[in-house]
Amino acid sequence: MSNSSLVVVGSGIKFISHLTHEAKVHIEQADKVLFLLNDPAMKEWVQKANPKSESLDELYTKYPLRIDCYHAITSYILETLRLGLHVCAVFYGHPSMLAIPGLNAVLQAKKEGIYARILPGISAEACLFADLLINPGSCGWQSFETTDFLINSRKHDPNCHLILWQADVIGTLTNPTSHDNCNGLTILVDRLSKFYQADHNIILYEAAQYPFFEPKIQQLLLRQLPSITLSSITTLYVPPANQTKPDTNLLKRLNNQINLSEQIPCQII
C-alpha cells in the first residue's frame, strides 16, 4: 500500500471566505501543493500557507487543445503523487465542477491503490442560486456546458431553471486569446428560441470574487444575447418559461390532498 495520498480541494469563488477549514488544513499540511487558480490573491495566499506550492498555470496553456492541457495537468499530479508524497491539489470553485484534471487524478490514483478524495468547494452555481434568490427545488433545474448543450442536442425542460456554462467560448476546443463568439451565441439563441419567446428575460451572472463586492447581474432579452460580450466567468441563466401543470390523475394515485390552486409558482427574477 502506498504511503502517498491525494486530496483535491476547491478554493470556492470568493477569496478566503469560501475556503473551508478542512481544505485549509490540507493545504497547510501537504508535502506538496499543486494549484490552478484564477485569482492572484488566492495564489499568493496558497504559496504563503504552504511554501512547497507550485502553480499549474503553465500546463493550463501549454497545448493548443484544452483537453491536452487537462490531460497534462492530471499526469503531472499523478507523477508528483507517485513520489510518495501527500499531495493537495487546489482548484478554483468546486474542484469537479466543469473541471476534469483533479477528478481524473483521483480516479486514477484510486485504481492504483492510493488514498485519494475530493473535498467540495462553493461553486458558481451555489452562488448563483443565492444571488438570484432561486430555490432550485421550486421547479427543478438543469445545468449544461453550452457547447455540449448545442452539439449533443441536450433535451431540457423549458419550465425548469436553465443554467448554461462557458457560453463565452461556444464551439472552440482551444485556449484562444481572442474568440469571436457572436456566431455561437446566434446559434444558441436559435436553439433557445424554439422554447422561449424572443423577449424572454435572461440573466448574465458573475459571482463576486472578493468579500463585500457585489455580483454582476445583467438582465436582457434573449434576442439581445448575440450582441453581448461575455467574460470567462459569465454564467447564463434562463428562467422558466411557464409553470408546469401537475398531473392530477397521478396526484390522486398518490392520495395527495394538495390544493392545486395554492401551488407556489417558480421564483423567477
- Cβ burial, residue 33 (10 Å; 0-12/13-18/19+): buried
> For 154-189, what is each residue's pLDDT tens digit?
999 999 999 999 999 999 877 766 677 899 999 999
pLDDT of residue 269: 39
Report how far residue 207's alpha carbon sits from residue 198's, in angstroms, rounded to the nearest whole number: 26
Examine residue 130 and state whether it is found in any structural domain, yes or no.
yes
Examine residue 269 and state whether it is found in any structural domain, yes or no.
no
**What is the end-to-end Cα distance of the chain in Å, rounded?**
53
Active-site residue 92, yes or no? Answer: yes
Q: Are residues 91 and 151 in the same domain?
A: no
Which residue among the candidates 60, 63, 66, 191 is catalytic per the annotation?
A: 66
> For 189-248, what is each residue's pLDDT tens digit?
999 999 999 999 999 999 999 999 999 999 999 999 999 999 989 999 999 999 888 888
Q: Are residues 237 and 128 in the same domain?
A: yes
CATH number for position 83: 3.40.1010.10
Q: Are residues 16 and 137 in the same domain?
A: no
CATH number for position 164: 3.30.950.10
Active-site residue 205, yes or no? Answer: no
Cell of 9: 480541494
- Decide if pLDDT at 249 tops 70: yes
Q: Are residues 246 and 128 in the same domain?
A: yes
Q: Are residues 150 and 210 in the same domain?
A: yes
Q: Are residues 128 and 245 in the same domain?
A: yes
Q: Which of 118, 134, 154 is the last residue of a domain?
A: 118
Q: Are residues 150 and 101 in the same domain?
A: no
Structural domain span for residue 208: 124-254+257-262
For 93-111, the DSSP string reads BSTTSS--HHHHHHHHHHH
Active-site residue 63, yes or no? Answer: no
> For 134-154, what is each residue's pLDDT tens digit?
999 999 999 999 999 999 999
Cβ partners under 8 Å of residue 257, min gap 6: none
* Global confidence as pTM: 0.88
> For 14-45, what is each residue's pLDDT tens digit?
999 999 999 999 999 999 999 999 999 999 99
Q: Are residues 83 and 191 in the same domain?
A: no
Q: Which of 84, 118, 152 is the last residue of a domain?
A: 118
pLDDT of residue 262: 52
**The residue to which cell 463565452 is assigned:** 168
Domain count of the fold of the chain: 2
Which residue among the candidates 92, 196, 205, 237 is catalytic per the annotation?
A: 92
How would you list the strands of the sheet with 141-145, edge to edge?
141-145, 161-165, 235-238, 201-206, 216-221
Mean pLDDT score across all residues of the chain: 92
